[in-house]
Amino acid sequence: SLGRRRCLYLHTGRACCQMMEVLLAALILVCSSVSGGSAGGYTGLPALGGIYYYHYGGAYSGFSGADGERAQQLDRRFYLLKLPIARAAMAVGGCLLVFPCVLILVGVLRVPWHFPAWLLIECTLYIVIAAGTVPALYYFFHSLLSVYNSSVCKEREQLYQSKGYQGFWCSLHGAEIAAGLLGCVAAVAYLLSAGLTVREYRTVHEQKQKPLQL
């Protein structure tokens, strides 16, 4: 039946690669949101009763007066510096999440069988995205390192260290490194999908030529 043939697509190599791309994009989206989802540090955490408030012990008794106000200012400035980078990374992760989902739907509906030229378009898109991943990762890490090397981050780090607080270093953290590694794996997955798409195009073309030969 038609429904059975459509479900069989989910067992093909192309569909497996596309589902892996969905997973990788979702992880990139999560890591990007972790990178820019919180101002961190002192700002507003005692009032919110967040995890940092309990981890560092109450209402940050080490800060008082001008130091507390300065910590809040530095946290806000540091957060605003990272926010555009995090939003850009989340936007890219969202687009990469939607793209394979659309391709899975196209495959289930057997569009490539009725319109084989779509496979060439899909292959081109895969190659473009894989090639674009390299400058995107460079921009991501270059921008983050610029923020971490800024005077705002250095002053913020020194202020927290002077009060005995750790974890406010001006360096890449795990979620940001993971986002970069996932981006590299995703680029490899896109190239693999491009190769499988070319093979699928040849198969469809040969199968469509058989009735004419008979």
Q: What is the pTM (predicted TM-score) of this model?
A: 0.80
User: For position 142, what pLDDT does the model report?
Assistant: 94
Q: How far apart (Å, rounded) are the C-alpha atoms in residues 138 and 141? A: 5
pLDDT by residue (tens digit) across 87-130? 999 999 999 999 999 999 998 888 888 888 899 999 999 999 99
What Rg do the C-alpha atoms of the chain give, in angstroms?
A: 24
- CA triplet 108, 19, 31: central angle to 5 degrees? 145
Give the residue-averaged pLDDT of 69-73. 82
- Give 21-45 pLDDT, tens digit per residue: 999 999 999 998 887 765 444 443 3
Average of pLDDT values for 67-86? Answer: 86
Identify the pLDDT of residue 55.
41
Domain ranges within the chain, ordered by starting residue: 2-208
> Which DSSP state fits 166?
-
Beta carbons of 201 and 123 less than 8 angstroms apart: yes
d(CA 115, CA 119): 8
CA-wise closest residue to 133 among 165, 172, 89: 89
